[in-house]
């Protein structure tokens, strides 16, 4: 206590934490004990929508991106789309087969980062981690903005306020994930399965109508024409255009790596369940992608990068008022009929599953962040599970970064998607290269013939996967660099530099605080200990602090006060002498009415006189129970502590004195038996303690 007005300390924080805990419990639920972590593990039926929603939902916009790029050369270039779809299918099949090897070889959840670090070194691992972190942020931004644009075709308000709506959806998803992986997965399972079933019904019904019934199905844009931006494309220009369309179609592969990062969240047998989920995801995504592109050609869907200018109706541009619906919406209208029940269900499920596709990143980013924090590349707070046993800090960090991107790019998926898939193919390539080295290392020591055959087959799969994804990475960089891929590369560099700096800091601190083999100044017992009790008036907190100081049996003990008001200082001296307190009182003059500076200078003076001595500064403090009481007390002691912490050889001790209001706060806390202080689930259960005796008197 300094200046007669000690600051609020522990129980004030307790009271404020209690007040903020109530809305927290309403939003994210009651805290879970650490031993209930097994209850949050996922069965395959829930793991599929949790980890595969990104890859499955990408078929809602990947076909449109292919047609948009091909529209540069006009409608005649659309006949290349089946071949581009076939190339994407080959890549996806290869990547899925390759990652099945990953989840068996590295089931700890490190995924590509662990594979690259173990087999290619820390720098390669950090490159993969940087790429994945960027891609997870972009997954949230792209998925949310695509969902907003799909929803906006039916609800104009969403289009008019798409940035605000996108940020609101991000906040909603953040709250869902803060409640825990299993709960969010259960919520997301229904719309994901409705979307998958709806697309398969659309493909099957469209094929039946076209092949068996001979119906002519026409999309709403079937009668439109496209004004080609470049007439008569051939040679290198055509190859470049096809490669660009292929790179855009490869957006369908995003999210495949999330399963390998989320293996620890699966129920046992973890690796087997994760591999099964990967295979099922690949089959579903490939079938839906091929089916939608096939129906888009049959129904004559027309898409243009600049529809207001390049999309023509009866030879006239449609104008800026035209809203270009996604490919899947146009195909559904042609197959089911606009406004039909199945059309509405599929349209709603598509918009919703695009929102929920961000959940893949919400599960991948925090787990990867936790592993990086454990390896000292990110702040240690990201390694800690929250009250609901989810990595809450990583979830919040991801949400903040994605919301920032949405605001910067105006929730425009066309601009955001140009940044996409660069990071994921960097991780694909380095991961598969690392797996080849993994199998080479094991083959050098393995003698069993059957195991060697299995390893050789796995190595061949990973080698082909590494070659193919590396080739796609080159194509993506060449075709998308000037369209925005450079931003993703810049983000990777920023993440890489930041994590490198954090690791250097942690290493430097670890070296600095390492316990020495020989005694040092920190471990040698001080020659003497000087104890100083700060006082301003004589009252119960002061007397308690003095009594505590005497119990310490220091070599010297004195009371210290600062003269900021001569009348009060004179009254203090007189009462000190009248009470006969057997502790010498020293008063420091302060002509400028400062409290902190004179005390700091006095303590430093003691240290200069005897460098091997320790100085213990004892501060009596009030503890109050209401948040508003905090505003009524001076914070000089808190500032003083902050200064003393930077002074070598100084020990600061607080002696709390609980007022009546603090007792009321403790009673309120005891009545809430389910109340948990922040971080309680990380510390584990605390046994109920008996009621503390009153300190009054």
pLDDT over 90 at 482, yes or no:
no
Average pLDDT estimate for 640-660:
81
How high is the pLDDT of residue 204? 92
How high is the pLDDT of residue 628? 62
- Helix, strand, coil shares of the chain, percent, nearest 5, are 70, 5, 25
How high is the pLDDT of residue 310? 77
* Domain annotation covers residue 447: no
Total structural domains within the chain: 2
Q: Please tell me whether residues 236 and 324 are part of one structural domain.
A: yes
**CA distance linking residue 16 with residue 627, whole number of Å:** 6
Residue 533 host element (H or E)? strand 529-534
Indicate left, alpha or beta for 378 from its phi (over 0: left) and psi (-120 to 50: alpha): beta
Higher-pLDDT residue of 38 and 232 is 232
Q: Please tell me whether residues 576 and 471 are part of one structural domain.
A: no
**CA distance linking residue 106 with residue 307, whole number of Å:** 47
Q: Please tell me whether residues 256 and 392 are part of one structural domain.
A: yes
Which residues lie across from 656 on neighbouring strands? 621
Q: Please tell me whether residues 554 and 471 are part of one structural domain.
A: no
Q: Is 289 exposed, middle or buried (0-12, 13-18, 19+ CB in 10 A)?
A: buried
pLDDT over 60 at 597, yes or no:
yes
**CA distance linking residue 670 with residue 150, whole number of Å:** 50
How high is the pLDDT of residue 667? 67
pLDDT over 80 at 408, yes or no:
yes
CATH number of the domain at 369, please: 1.20.1740.10
* Domain annotation covers residue 459: no
Q: Please tell me whether residues 472 and 543 are part of one structural domain.
A: no
How high is the pLDDT of residue 614? 85
Q: Please tell me whether residues 473 and 591 are part of one structural domain.
A: no
Q: Please tell me whether residues 578 and 667 are part of one structural domain.
A: yes
Percent of the chain with pLDDT over 70: 78
Higher-pLDDT residue of 120 and 636 is 120
**CA distance linking residue 359 with residue 284, whole number of Å:** 18
Q: Please tell me whether residues 399 and 539 are part of one structural domain.
A: no
Q: Which of 1-5, 73-77, 183-187, 554-558 has the lowest mean pLDDT?
A: 1-5
Residue 557: CB atoms within 10 Å: 20
Final residue of a structural domain among 436, 458, 478 = 478
**Phi/psi of residue 530, each to 5°?**
-100, 125
* Domain annotation covers residue 277: yes
* Domain annotation covers residue 423: no
Residue 202 host element (H or E)? helix 181-207
How high is the pLDDT of residue 651? 86
pLDDT band at 231 (very low <50, low <70, confident <90, very high): low
Residue 545 host element (H or E)? helix 540-551
pLDDT band at 514 (very low <50, low <70, confident <90, very high): low
DSSP for 140-194? HHHHHHHHHHHHHTT-HHHHHTHHHHHHHHHHHHHHHHHT-HHHHHHHHHHHHHH
Task: Give the closest residue to 112 by CA, choosing from 136, 144, 88.
Answer: 136
Sign of CA dihedral 78, 82, 83, 88: positive
pLDDT tens, position by position, 121-130: 999 989 988 9
Helix (H, G, I), strand (E, B) or coil at 652: strand
* Domain annotation covers residue 500: no
Q: Are 90 and 106 in contact (CB under 8 A)?
A: no
Mean pLDDT of the chain: 77
Helix (H, G, I), strand (E, B) or coil at 312: strand
Residue 168 domain boundaries = 31-412+466-478
pLDDT band at 359 (very low <50, low <70, confident <90, very high): confident
Final residue of a structural domain among 478, 501, 522 = 478
Two tokens, residue 78: 């659309």
Residue 323: CB atoms within 10 Å: 11
Average pLDDT estimate for 475-495:
83
Helix (H, G, I), strand (E, B) or coil at 693: coil
Q: Please tell me whether residues 598 and 473 are part of one structural domain.
A: no
Average pLDDT estimate for 252-271:
75
Q: Which of 103-107, 284-288, 511-515, 628-632 has the lowest mean pLDDT?
A: 628-632
pLDDT over 60 at 79, yes or no:
yes
- Residue 269 preceded by cis peptide, ω within 30: yes
pLDDT over 90 at 244, yes or no:
no
* Domain annotation covers residue 438: no
pLDDT tens, position by position, 429-455: 898 899 899 889 888 888 888 888 888
Q: Which of 12-21, 71-80, 336-345 has the lowest mean pLDDT?
A: 12-21
DSSP for 418-453? GGTTHHHHHHHHHHHHHHHHHHHHHHTT---HHHHH
pLDDT over 70 at 186, yes or no:
no
How high is the pLDDT of residue 679? 35
Q: Are 15 and 675 in contact (CB under 8 A)?
A: no
**CA distance linking residue 564 with residue 361, whole number of Å:** 58
Q: Please tell me whether residues 55 and 167 are part of one structural domain.
A: yes
pLDDT band at 16 (very low <50, low <70, confident <90, very high): very low
How high is the pLDDT of residue 631? 54
Higher-pLDDT residue of 526 and 171 is 171
How high is the pLDDT of residue 496? 93
Q: Please tell me whether residues 473 and 534 are part of one structural domain.
A: no
Any idea which residue has 């209850």 for tokens?
39
Q: Are 281 and 48 in contact (CB under 8 A)?
A: yes
Average pLDDT estimate for 487-494:
88
Q: Are 19 and 627 in contact (CB under 8 A)?
A: yes
CATH number of the domain at 578, please: 3.40.50
Two tokens, residue 217: 């199905």
How high is the pLDDT of residue 557? 93
pLDDT over 90 at 426, yes or no:
no
pLDDT tens, position by position, 25-52: 445 455 444 444 444 567 777 777 777 7
pLDDT over 90 at 111, yes or no:
no
* Domain annotation covers residue 250: yes
* Domain annotation covers residue 210: yes
**CA distance linking residue 202 with residue 217, whole number of Å:** 12
pLDDT band at 18 (very low <50, low <70, confident <90, very high): very low
Two tokens, residue 305: 């990068």
How high is the pLDDT of residue 188? 65
Q: Please tell me whether residues 406 and 549 are part of one structural domain.
A: no
Average pLDDT estimate for 413-437:
81
Residue 488: CB atoms within 10 Å: 26
**CA distance linking residue 452 with residue 176, whole number of Å:** 45
**CA distance linking residue 397 with residue 502, whole number of Å:** 16
Most confident of the following: 30-44, 408-422, 598-612, 650-664: 598-612
Two tokens, residue 19: 């007040």
């Amino acid at each position: 206590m300094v200046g007669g007005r000690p600051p609020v300390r522990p129980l004030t924080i307790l009271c404020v934490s209690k007040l903020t805990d109530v809305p927290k419990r309403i939003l994210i639920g009651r805290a879970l004990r650490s031993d209930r972590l097994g209850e949050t593990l996922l069965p395959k039926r829930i793991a599929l929508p949790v980890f595969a929603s990104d890859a499955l939902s990408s078929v809602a916009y990947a076909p449109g991106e292919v047609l948009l790029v091909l529209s540069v050369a006009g409608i005649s270039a659309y006949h290349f789309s089946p071949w581009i779809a076939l190339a994407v299918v080959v890549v996806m099949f290869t990547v899925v087969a390759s990652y099945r090897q990953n989840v068996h070889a590295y089931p700890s959840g490190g995924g590509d980062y662990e594979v690259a670090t173990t087999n290619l070194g820390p720098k390669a691992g950090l490159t993969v981690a940087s790429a994945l972190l960027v891609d997870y942020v972009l997954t949230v931004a792209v998925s949310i903005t695509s969902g907003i644009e799909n929803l906006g075709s039916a609800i104009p308000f969403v289009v008019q306020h798409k940035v605000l709506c996108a940020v609101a959806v991000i906040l909603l998803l953040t709250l869902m994930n803060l409640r825990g992986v299993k709960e969010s997965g259960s919520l997301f399972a229904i719309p994901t399965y409705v979307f998958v079933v709806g697309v398969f019904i659309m493909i099957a019904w469209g094929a039946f109508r076209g092949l068996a019934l001979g119906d002519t199905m026409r999309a709403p844009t079937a009668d439109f024409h496209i004004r080609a931006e470049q007439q008569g494309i051939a040679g290198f220009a055509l190859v470049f255009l096809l490669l660009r369309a292929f790179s855009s179609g490869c957006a369908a592969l995003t999210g495949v790596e999330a399963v390998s990062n989320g293996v620890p969240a699966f129920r046992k047998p973890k690796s087997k369940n994760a591999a099964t989920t990967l295979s099922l995801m690949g089959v579903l995504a490939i079938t839906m992608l091929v089916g939608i592109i096939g129906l888009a050609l049959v129904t004559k869907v027309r898409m243009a990068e600049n529809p207001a200018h390049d999309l023509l109706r009866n030879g006239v541009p449609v104008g800026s008022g035209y809203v270009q619906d996604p490919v899947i919406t146009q195909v559904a209208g042609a197959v089911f009929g606009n406004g039909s029940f199945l059309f509405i269900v599929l349209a709603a499920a598509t918009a919703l599953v695009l929102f929920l596709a961000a959940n893949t990143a919400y599960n991948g980013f925090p787990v990867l962040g936790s592993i990086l924090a454990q390896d000292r590349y990110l702040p240690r707070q990201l390694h800690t599970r929250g009250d609901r046993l989810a990595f809450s800090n990583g979830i919040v960090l991801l949400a903040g970064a994605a919301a920032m991107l949405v605001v910067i790019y105006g929730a425009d998926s066309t601009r955001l998607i140009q940044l996409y898939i660069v990071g994921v193919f960097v991780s694909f390539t380095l991961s598969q290269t690392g797996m080849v080295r993994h199998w080479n290392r094991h083959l050098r020591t393995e003698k069993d013939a059957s195991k060697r055959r299995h390893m050789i087959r796995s190595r061949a799969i990973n080698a082909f996967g590494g070659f193919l994804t590396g080739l796609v990475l080159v194509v993506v960089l060449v075709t998308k660099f000037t369209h925005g891929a450079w931003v993703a590369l810049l983000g990777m560099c920023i993440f890489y530099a930041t994590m490198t700096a954090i690791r250097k800091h942690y290493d430097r601190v670890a070296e600095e605080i390492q316990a020495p083999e020989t005694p040092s100044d920190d471990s040698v017992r001080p020659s003497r200990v000087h104890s100083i009790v700060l006082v301003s008036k004589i009252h119960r907190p002061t007397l308690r602090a003095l009594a505590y100081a005497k119990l310490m049996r220091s070599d010297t003990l004195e009371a210290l006060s600062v003269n900021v008001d001569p009348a009060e200082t004179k009254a203090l001296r007189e009462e000190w002498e009248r009470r006969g307190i057997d502790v010498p009182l020293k008063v420091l003059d302060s002509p400028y009415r400062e409290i902190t500076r004179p005390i700091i200078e006095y303590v430093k003076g003691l240290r200069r006189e005897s460098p091997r001595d320790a100085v213990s500064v004892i501060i009596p403090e009030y503890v109050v129970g209401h948040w508003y009481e905090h505003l009524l007390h001076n914070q000089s002691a808190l500032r003083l502590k902050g200064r003393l912490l930077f002074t070598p050889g100084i020990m600061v001790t607080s002696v709390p004195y609980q007022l009546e209001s603090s007792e009321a706060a403790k009673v309120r806390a005891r009545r809430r038996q389910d109340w948990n202080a922040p971080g309680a689930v990380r510390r584990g259960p605390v046994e109920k303690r008996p009621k503390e005796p009153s300190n009054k008197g």
